[in-house]
Amino acid sequence: MIRFTNISKVYKPNMTALHGVSFHVKPGEFVSIVGSSGSGKTTLAKLLFAEEKPTSGKIVVGDWDITSIHRSEIPTLRRQIGVVFQDFKLLSRKTVYENVAFALEVAGAANVRIKEVVPQVLKIVGLGDKHERYPHQLSGGEQQRVSIARALVHRPKIIVADEPTGNLDTVTSREIIELLKKINEFGTTVVLVTHDRDIVNALKKRVLTINGGKIVSDVEHGKYVLG
Amino acid sequence: MRTLIRVIKFTGQSLWRNAWLSLITLTIFVLTLMTVNAVLLVNVVTSSAIRAVQNEVQVAVYFVPGTSQETEKSVRGYLLGLSQVKTVEVITADQALQNFKDKNAGDPTVLAALDEVGGNPFGDAVVVSANNPQDFDFILQAIKTPEYAPSIKQTDYTDYQTVISKLTTFTDKLRIAGLILAGFFALISILIIFNAIRIAIYVHRDEIGIMKLVGAQDWFIRAPFLLEAVLLSLLATGVMAGVVLVSTKALDVPLMQYFGQVNVSLWAYFTSNALIIFGGEFLALALLSSLTTVFAMRKHLRV
């Protein structure tokens, strides 16, 4: 599903974020990418949805080599990968419904389909009764649920969640992770980028550990191993 | 079609939900157009003022007393035949005497001096007004033909010559000053609009980034902002047209009273040139705000 081959990313003038990173994520897997701040894990996530381009190496998503993806192709890629961020990245002037619908509207989806799909995904994330609320009228956990609903709306094969619990309390964090697990059980590949030890240990899923821009461990049912 | 409707919907939502920002941008647009129209208005008024002064400039040609009516008539006809001459008014010696007496009615010394002279010291005269003050030189040269020169006692152009020369210099300077002022205001307007749009886009920077992250094409993100810029330009031009037409209508009566015979109707000027003035202002404003929008968005679209 996702294949990184010898990926390096160097920021100008001379800051190496990733160095020779290679791994493969199979369809339907739940992979946690862990590491301390500045280890390169967010850069890795950004490479996945083409917010950054690698300096060298090769990235393949599905059958698509996105290593040198053209600017005009990026929107198409982003409609195939659901992305969830730590700061939710919701449009503050749009309601919950409009935020989720927007992802379909930009893709040119028909109104009939939008009216059918958006309530479905909002129900899945537990916000079936909050369509007309604005982001500032929601709790952090609810905002993250909207973000997940938006990521799900295209029925993507992959969900990339970059520190999705970073701004949430422990209980809400667990709920969000449970939601991601549920999505994974439906067959969606989930890449979770986090530095939350408890979450990683509780998941008992594959753990890729990054340190200093390199993968230092890749364990099938792993734990958080950094100090 | 579906996409176009969505772009219009997003534009409407953005205008409404960012009402304050829209209002501020609209106000800046209106104020900018106001400076442009104020310069235009001042230009029309000064042109009319110049025209009014120029209309007052006349040259009197005095005949030698005793010049025959035929000669005077012939001179008048000759002058009227010149394309540079606008009007020729004949003033008889009696009229000239009466005018002089009326003018100095309050000054017994002057009237006593007139009695002392005895009889009518004035001859017949013609008062010539030209289409253009610069033509007086030509007219006065033209009248000095061997046929008419002996009948002409004097012309009082000398005084006017200075006035005309000063007036011409003044109007030329005024025109240059007007142009510089208009250019200066245009530059300020461009900078103000440029900044207003940049601020508006800056406020939306996160939104633009999010749109990119959920897979929106660049043009789909740009289109509502561009449409917003064009709609605000249209609205600002509409508001400005209303303000200009109402205020010029109100100004017309006092201006006409002030300028007398010169027809200074600002309202007529703005209504008869409405399409060019307001259409041009709208196009310029829409073009400027759209270009600024594209320029300001470039940075935020790089996500």
pLDDT for residue B303 is more than 60: no
Q: Within chain A, how many helices (H) and strands (E) appear?
A: 7, 10
d(CA A27, CA B32): 59
Residue A78: inside a domain, yes or no? Answer: no
**What's the rounded mean pLDDT across residues A77-82?**
89
pLDDT for residue B143 is more than 90: no
Between B227 and B190, residue with greater pLDDT: B227
**pLDDT in the model for residue A21:** 94
Considering only CB atoms, which chain B residues are within 8 Å of A75? 212, 215-217
Q: Judge: A106–B214 Cβ closer than 8 Å, yes or no.
A: yes
Residue A121: inside a domain, yes or no? Answer: yes
Cis bond leading into A13, ω under 30°? Answer: yes
Between A215 and B195, residue with greater pLDDT: A215
Q: Each residue of B55-64: pLDDT tens digit?
A: 777 788 888 8
> Which stretch of B112-121, B206-215, B289-298 has the lowest confidence by average pLDDT?
B112-121
Between B154 and A207, residue with greater pLDDT: A207
Query: What is the residue range of A94's domain?
Result: 89-155
Q: What is the mean pLDDT of chain B?
A: 82
Break chain B down into helix, strand, coil percent, rounded to 5.
Answer: 75, 5, 15
Under the banding of pLDDT at 50, 70 and 90, the label for residue B115 is confident
Query: B41: closest CA among B261, B275, B258, B251?
Result: B251
Domain at B58-157: CATH code = 3.30.70.3040
**pLDDT in the model for residue B186:** 73
Gyration radius of chain A's alpha carbons: 17
Under the banding of pLDDT at 50, 70 and 90, the label for residue A24 is very high
Residue A179: inside a domain, yes or no? Answer: no
Smallest Cα distance from A106 to chain B, Å:
5
d(CA A209, CA A217): 5
**pLDDT in the model for residue A227:** 61
DSSP A89-117: ---TTS-HHHHHHHHHHTTT--HHHHHHH
How many domains does one find in chain A? Answer: 1
**What's the rounded mean pLDDT across residues B239-245?**
93
**The pair of three-digit structure tokens given for residue A225, joined into one six-digit string:** 């191993």
**What's the rounded mean pLDDT across residues B216-241?**
91
**pLDDT in the model for residue B70:** 85
Smallest Cα distance from B212 to chain A, Å:
7
**pLDDT in the model for residue A5:** 95
Q: What ipTM does the predicted assembly reach? A: 0.81
Q: Judge: A103–B6 Cβ closer than 8 Å, yes or no.
A: no
Q: Each residue of B282-300: pLDDT tens digit?
A: 999 999 889 888 888 887 7
pLDDT for residue A141 is more than 90: yes
**pLDDT in the model for residue B103:** 78
**What's the rounded mean pLDDT across residues B148-155?**
82
d(CA B1, CA B6): 9
Residue A119: inside a domain, yes or no? Answer: yes
Interface of A with B (CB under 8 A): 49, 51, 72, 74-79, 83, 85, 89-94, 102-103, 105-108, 110-111, 150, 154
Handedness of CA A106, A107, A113, A118 (dihedral sign): negative
**The pair of three-digit structure tokens given for residue B137, joined into one six-digit string:** 């030189």
d(CA A99, CA A92): 9
**What's the rounded mean pLDDT across residues B247-275?**
81
**What's the rounded mean pLDDT across residues B17-28?**
85
Half-sphere exposure of A39 (CA within 13 A, CB side): 19
Find which of A21-30, A98-107, B51-60 is predicted with most confidence, using mean pLDDT: A21-30
| CB neighbour class for B172 (10 Å; exposed up to 12, middle 13-18, buried from 19) | exposed
Domain spans in chain B, listed from the N-terminal domain onward: 2-53+167-300, 58-157
Q: Chain-centre distance of CA B185, in angstroms? A: 16
**pLDDT in the model for residue B158:** 53
Q: Each residue of A166-221: pLDDT tens digit?
A: 888 989 999 999 999 999 998 999 999 998 888 898 888 999 999 999 999 998 87
pLDDT for residue B261 is more than 80: no
As beta bridge partners, residue B182 has none
pLDDT for residue B147 is more than 90: no
d(CA B245, CA A50): 54
